[in-house]
């Protein structure tokens, strides 16, 4: 029969062995934490960023993601693993041109070893002095896409509802719209017009095709679309070049039936 002293020594030995056995697991398994982001949290930029990145301290699973939102929680862009970062420790997304405002980047980091999930976010702003691709001042009238919502399932005709502070007759195609050659010095509205692009096809509705459905809200019905997923972009376009002036709002939805 073992003595009390011998039994105690055996127990201590077993505890020590168990601790050593578990030590490698503890050091190998970890949760990915954000180390650095570009732009940094709270940054105020003079122009729209060409790329947004996030670096982590652990190898990430391919399902990890970055998502960019505006102040209305509209999804503007989505990204994933950055192939240029060794060890799968970085995420990257390429945003559309961003106008003046504050933006939120939400990240989901999934550790590749144990599948542990961590979530977080950081914010940055684009200053009012930013310049749009067409060279127009970023001091544009507001433009918010109200409908359709992201990932919505809709039937034809798809109704596009926007909200804007502008006089709709001055920012749509038609006789009241500023000249395609630019505006006279006495006008205060920027030389832009509404662009709605669906799967690469551009629609430039006239004011007569826009129905007022609320204070500062207008609706345009798209032509019949085929069943399936569609990507729509809404933005102010430069009258001369038709290039985006300000933020491009993107939404993906599905037409059924």
Is the domain 34-126 a CATH 2.60.40.1220 member? yes
As a whole number, mean pLDDT of residues 109-117 equals: 92
**H helix and E strand count, the chain:** 1, 17
- The DSSP output letter for 101 is E
Collapsing DSSP states into helix, strand and coil, what is residue 161?
Answer: strand
CA atoms within 13 A on the CB side of 67: 16
Under CATH, domain 143-255 is a member of which superfamily? Immunoglobulins (2.60.40.10)
CB proximity list for 135: less than 8 A, separation 6 or greater = none
151-169 pLDDT per residue, tens: 789 999 999 999 988 899 9
| pLDDT higher at 220 or 187 | 220
| Token pair 């709270």: residue | 42
Query: Matching CATH topology for 34-126 and 143-255?
Result: yes
List the chain domain ranges: 34-126, 143-255
The C-alpha atoms of residue 142 and residue 161 are separated, in whole angstroms, by 14
What separation in angstroms does the CA of 181 have from each of 137, 194, 205?
16, 16, 19
> Phi, psi (5° rounding) for residue 201?
-95, 125
Confirm whether pTM is higher than 0.85. Answer: no
Could you tell me the sign of the dihedral formed by the alpha carbons of 79, 44, 237, 75, in that order? positive
Closest CA to 79 of 53, 43, 60: 53
pLDDT digits (tens, 9 = 90+) for 26-80: 334 567 899 999 999 999 888 889 999 999 999 999 999 999 998 888 898 999 9
């Amino acid at each position: 029969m073992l003595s009390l002293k011998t039994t105690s020594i055996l127990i201590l030995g077993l505890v020590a062995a168990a601790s050593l056995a578990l030590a490698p697991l503890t050091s190998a398994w970890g949760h990915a934490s954000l180390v650095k982001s570009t732009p940094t949290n709270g940054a105020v930029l003079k122009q729209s960023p060409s790329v947004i990145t996030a670096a982590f301290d652990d190898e990430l699973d391919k399902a990890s993601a970055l998502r960019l939102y505006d102040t209305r929680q509209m999804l503007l862009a989505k990204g994933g693993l950055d192939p240029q970062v060794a060890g799968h420790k970085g995420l990257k997304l390429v945003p559309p041109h961003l106008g003046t405002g504050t933006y939120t980047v939400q990240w989901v980091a999934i550790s590749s070893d144990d599948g542990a999930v961590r979530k977080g976010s950081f914010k940055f702003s684009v200053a009012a002095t930013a310049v749009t691709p067409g060279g127009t001042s970023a001091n544009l009238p507001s433009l918010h896409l109200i409908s359709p919502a992201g990932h919505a399932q809709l039937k034809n005709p798809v109704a596009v509802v926007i909200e804007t502070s502008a006089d709709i007759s001055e920012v749509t195609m038609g006789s009241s719209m500023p000249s395609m050659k630019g505006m006279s010095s006495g006008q205060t509205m920027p030389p832009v017009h509404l662009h709605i692009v669906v799967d690469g096809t551009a629609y430039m509705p006239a004011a007569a095709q826009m129905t007022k459905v609320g204070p500062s809200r207008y609706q345009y019905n798209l032509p019949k679309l085929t069943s399936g997923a569609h990507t729509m972009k809404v933005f102010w376009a430069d009258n001369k070049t038709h290039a985006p002036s300000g933020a491009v709002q993107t939404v993906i939805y599905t037409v059924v039936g």
